[in-house]
Structure formats: C-alpha cells, structure tokens
Structure 1
Amino acid sequence: MPQGASHATPDAAPGSDAAAGDLCRLPDHPDPAPYARTSRVGGYTVVALHGEIDIAGLAGVGPALDAATGARAPEVVVDLTPTTFFDCSGLGLLCRAHRRVAERGGRLRLVCDDPLILRTLRVGGLLDVLGPVATLEDAVGEE
C-alpha cells in the first residue's frame, strides 16, 4: 500500500471510505409489516391498508380484503390513506377485490389522495375504473 494511503476497515470513522460503503447496506426495515384494519361505517365494510403494499406485504392484507369482498352484494371501501407505498402488486390486489365485488353484485369504493399512489393507479388503468375519492366521508356519503 502506498505511503499515506489508508485501508478502510468496518469500524472506520464517519466520513471515511468505510462509512461511505455503509450507505450501500440497507437498514433494518423501520416500518412494521403491512396490515389491514377492518371496520364498519354505515352499511360499508371499510378495509384500511396500512404500510407498504408490495409483493412482500400481500399476505398481510390480502385475507382481510378477501373476507370483506366475499359476502353477497358487499359494500366495501378500501382506504389507502394509511398506505405508505403501493406498487403493481397492490394493483393486482385491487383488481381482484373489484372483480369479486362485481361478481357478487356489490360495490367497491376507493379512498386515496396520495399523488404517487394515484399515479400508480392511473398507469395501471384503475384510476377511472375505481374512481377514488379523497376522504372516507366522501366514500361512504356517495350514493
């Protein structure tokens, strides 16, 4: 090693080459696993999806959505306001819910005001199909 050169070690000081290398490591996931919280508001079953809705999170939210959409003529509101991330896996989840509700003669409403999630819905072709509204009050108050 040339004179004056240093060899980076795992316990190098902040600002050194080793500390910069730490930026490449992913931190522990700070958010809890995604989950769904189901409630009743008026005549609607509201399923609020919390956390990151991606392929890894489907198992945490899919069963609750299936339960809500499995009844005869279900009136379901999917609330994405507590959702922090939403990708094409989430689009598939919403497509399935929409299909199940339609097959059973029910109605599905969507609550979402996040610009990035709305963009994902638009690109996925679901924005016009689901017609999201900004608040839960808007979803349960529409007739």
Structure 2
Amino acid sequence: MGTTADLSQGYRVIRATGELDILTTPLLSGKLADALRGTHIPRLVVDLTDVAFMDCSALGPLCTARARCLDRAGWLRLVHSGRAIGLLLHIVDLTGAFPRYATVDAARQGVVSAGPR
C-alpha cells in the first residue's frame, strides 16, 4: 500500500493493492492517519482500483478518516472499479458517504461515476 502526495494540486492519494481485510486494515488505518497529519484542509483520494478483495473491516478506518476530513472542511473520495466494493458499500448503506469515482483525476475533480454496483 502506498501513499503519494500531490500537494501542488491540494490533495493526497493513498493507493491500496491486494486484499483489505482484518490483517491488512491496520496498514490502511496508519496510511490514512499519516495522510491527515499536518494537513490543514485534508483532501484525500483513496484508490482501491487494485484491491482484489475488501471486507467490512476496512470501512471503520475509511469512515473515521472521512469524518476527520469533513470536520476540517476537507473530503475523502474513493476510486474503485470492482463490483464487490460497490456492492459492499451498497449493502452497508455507505454509497452516499462514498460515491464511486472512476479515476483519481475524476475524484480530484469531484466527478462521480455511476459505474458498477
């Protein structure tokens, strides 16, 4: 899992790969906390394009980070293309909190995608 900063554009990108489950979620949580640290108005893009599997354990850190962003007048946006992540968000009624963005650039611009669900 990597983090890249594009502070010239005013946002940071966290790229996750592989599986997000109870074993790997602490790494995601740490990356989100690092990205929020020292950021006046946090704008985070979490790119899940290369995530093959995600269970509900990843939702807690994502919701916490999103709340922290919103509390500081920022945002957190999810990029994903797989049906499974969209379905998980739909089942737990989080599609309103985490609408789907097709690409990092679309997320940066705030262009929501109807994509798979």
Q: Give the TM-score normalised by the residue count of structure 2.
A: 0.83
> Which residue number corresponds to residue 39 of structure 1?
4
Match of 1:82 among 15, 32, 50: 50
User: Deviation of residue 64 (structure 1)?
Assistant: 0.8
> Which residue number corresponds to residue 92 of structure 1?
60
> Which residue number corresponds to residue 64 of structure 1?
31
User: Deviation of residue 142 (structure 1)?
Assistant: 3.0
Using the aligned pairs only, state the percent identity: 35
**Per-residue Cα deviation, 1:14-52 (whole angstroms, up to 9, x for no partner):** xxxxxxxxxxxxxxxxxxxxxx21112322100011111
Cα distance in 2 between the residues matched to 1:124 and 1:37: 26
Q: Is 1:101–1:107's contact at 8 Å kept on the other side of the alignment?
A: yes
Cα distance in 2 between the residues matched to 1:37 and 1:124: 26
1:97 counterpart SS class = helix
User: Deviation of residue 88 (structure 1)?
Assistant: 0.6
Q: Give the structure with the larger strand fraction.
A: 2
User: Deviation of residue 106 (structure 1)?
Assistant: 0.9
1:128 counterpart SS class = coil
User: Deviation of residue 91 (structure 1)?
Assistant: 1.2
2:49 counterpart SS class = coil
- Which has the higher relative contact order, 1 or 2, with Cα contacts under 8 A spaced 6 or more apart? 2
User: Deviation of residue 75 (structure 1)?
Assistant: 0.9
Cα distance in 2 between the residues matched to 1:129 and 1:75: 15
> Which residue number corresponds to residue 69 of structure 2?
101
Q: Which runs of 5+ in 2 are unaligned?
A: 112-117
**Per-residue Cα deviation, 1:106-141 (whole angstroms, up to 9, x for no partner):** 111111111011100111221111212111121123
* RMSD (Å) for aligned C-alpha atoms: 1.5
Cα distance in 2 between the residues matched to 1:58 and 1:142: 26
Q: Higher Cα Rg: structure 1 or 2? A: 1
Which AA in structure 1 matches 2:101?
V
> Which residue number corresponds to residue 102 of structure 2?
134
